[in-house]
Structure 1
């Protein structure tokens, strides 16, 4: 639901009342995404910004426009329907026209959350260099908490394949900050919602506006269609909008509004993973009808998928741990002889052979391969509109908010300690201590995390403990040089040759 104002010809208020399937969101009033109070004090969405003439800017944004194409005060848009609203101002040689084109879901590839705007500003018949502004502070107006997992409305914009994000605090109080190049699209977004403006071609310039409540101004292509998306930060909807707006494949797409944290440079890899996992979460929820249990099942499936990697990682780490005493012995012997001593080369060869058989880095590699999947899970559980305010059971009535009693972080900490106890490590006492301290640090940082994210991590740890127990039972690695049996003489087996014995032990 949108409230348009003839003063300035702007969008004064924007409220999301339901999902596309008709299911209400935050009933009975919905989610207010654009505040009428801020619009009155700062200016509504799609107001003009004219850096070269602040007087003209004020005149255009305070003027009362003539409204066309609306027979009544209310405009109702049916599915697969298109309607236009025009705002016209004329006076003192100034002419300004804005035409908003609203399309319902079902029109071509429309998402149901997008519309178009065409605007012109002329003085004495000549075009005026003007900007269109989106904002201020588009996002859930009821959300007041800001943390490492929930950010206030910020500015996000694309220059080619590069995506930049600016919080109000980063603008250092500057009223207007120019971007560093032509902008393909610009957005104001919080965790779950975004409004984005897509010009017909990369806009030559854009300005970041602060006023304590962020907005972004994009240079106007006079008389041409500019696209606007205003709705949830849903990966599928944003992808659909990018296709509908025909954004160049050589540029960042609207779905890049979603951030993947410090792995954002791998978004080309993470994005399809996140979309697939979001699809999986929704499909599972069709059966469970509870996003908490859906997260649990998705986590179990994901850990089963990675079980072969966990097995390989554990075997490599156990081999490295078993060879650690011999590796230290070689290092001590190397310290006692001169580097030019012929024996040094023999020791180095022996050291290289041991590293090939039990390289600890090989144990880390499978874990690193899982990082894009973790960041994909992090993204969908912190921006997915379905998880927002979704209940689980008992005290967990909002998976997008922290656990009020810290129960999940504590259980997660305990499962991490248990997992650490089962995982093969080196004999280094400092590393062992760190292995038990890290779970406490993680639990402390995750106490403010959304319960859905902590639930994922906790269940992943529990499944990991079970898998590690199975690995330890089925693959007990012996130190190098240990015979394959306790007492081979009793069984009548022949003792293997010394070299062969070491090879068999290493193979275990």
Structure 2
């Protein structure tokens, strides 16, 4: 499930890259036009230029200001999702023995029917104990930020003022290897912070996410102008802050889930019986072999009688 979620997130980011690179058209003279440019890039260019005048004519600080505003507005939603994910993690820790038993029987199943029945037990275990299959995390914050990505990308890419602007020696219109490295480091740090206070078993489950998430952001920063890379990096700082807040809340959440599980112990699912009339592949093969042998014996008898 986690692998599918990571692939889905990667697909969203990849689709965004393709969309952003091909949605703005140019005339024969090179002038950009199109819905994205006129309705997203141009207003963003005006907003950035206005903010830069307030912030000492610095477009870099203007991008940071936009990032700050966007992430501050998204903070309640992202904290709520992170809290839900933490609650799901704590619940799953309590039903882990039941999950391991079902997984073991699923591996030992000898037929497709038996495997399907055991899989239904796993789904029932999740339902009965009010545990989400997605772990409590959704793609809503990422989807909300997609228009911001599109607007900043088009604004920087197709504005001479923005594409030639510098921020502490970094050309905001060109790729910045410094921001590529910084983005990787800040999201790797956020991944490490998210494992603090977790049992070793849960840390092992999160190691894949700790690697894939920074790599995904690094790739996006590498293929984007530095202005968007600056947005990613500052967003990573906010992600670290959000993780520290959740780490502070985790002990209280753990106590609440422990009390809830003590009051209402994890419910063991009722095994789903496999229909007796349905035969396994091995049984069917054995029956076919016995039938063929019987036919051959009967054919031999008839031949001798003749």
Q: Given the alignment, which residue of 373, 376, 381 partners 2:148?
A: 373
TM-fit CA distance, 1:349: 3.0
Once the 2 structures are TM-superposed, how far is the Cα of residue 473 of structure 1 from its aligned partner? Answer: 1.3
2:163 paired residue among 388, 401, 425: 388
The 1:377/1:359 distance shift into structure 2, 3 A limit, reads farther
SS at match of 2:161: coil
Q: Secondary structure at the match of 2:138?
A: helix
Question: Aligned residue for 1:27?
Answer: none
Matches within 5 A, 1:311-322: 311-322=79-90
Compare the two structures and name the one with the higher helix fraction. Answer: 2
Structure 1 alignment gaps of length 5 or more: 1-148, 157-162, 166-185, 195-232, 234-253, 259-270, 485-495, 504-508
- Is 2:192 the counterpart of 1:421? yes
**Aligned equivalent of 1:66:** none
RMSD: 4.1
* 2:48 equivalent to 1:281: yes
Q: Would the alpha carbon gap of residues 274 and 311 (structure 1) be closer, same or farther in structure 2, given more than 3 Å must change?
A: farther
Displacement of 1:419 = 1.2
Q: Which residue number in structure 1 is paired with residue 27 of structure 2?
A: 187
Q: Secondary structure at the match of 1:386?
A: helix
Q: Is contact 2:175-2:226 (8 Å) kept?
A: yes
Give the conservation status (yes or no) of the 8 Å contact 2:164–2:172. yes
Secondary structure, aligned partner of 1:188: coil
Report deviation, 1:347.
6.1
Shift of 1:390: 1.0
TM-score by length of 1: 0.39
- State the partner residue of 1:80: none
**Deviation by residue 1:366-397 (Cα, 9 ceiling, x = unmatched):** 2343333333332223223431211222x22x
Written as runs of structure 1 = structure 2, the 5 A alignment for 1:35-434 is 187-188=27-28, 193-194=30-31, 233=32, 254-256=33-35, 258=37, 277-288=44-55, 289-325=57-93, 326=95, 328-329=99-100, 331-332=102-103, 335=106, 348-354=123-129, 356-360=130-134, 362-370=136-144, 371-393=146-168, 395-396=169-170, 398-403=171-176, 406-423=177-194, 427=202, 429=204, 432-433=207-208
- Matched pairs, number: 234
Return the index of the structure with the highest Cα Rg.
1
Q: 1:316 to 1:277 in 2, by over 3 A?
A: farther
Counterparts of 2:119 and 2:216, CA distance in 1:
43
Residues 330 and 347 in structure 1, CA contact (< 8 A), matched pair in contact too: no
User: Greater share of strand residues, 1 or 2?
Assistant: 1
Q: Are the structure 2 counterparts of residues 460 and 324 from structure 1 closer, same or farther at C-alpha, using a change threshold of 3 Å? A: same
- Rounded Cα–Cα distance in structure 1 between residues aligned with 2:24 and 2:40: 22
Greater relative contact order structure (CA < 8 Å, 6+ sep): 2
Q: Secondary structure at the match of 1:364?
A: coil
Alpha carbons of 1:304 and 1:408: their partners in 2 closer, same or farther (altered >3 Å)? same
User: Do 1:390 and 1:399's aligned partners in 2 also have CA atoms closer than 8 Å?
Assistant: yes
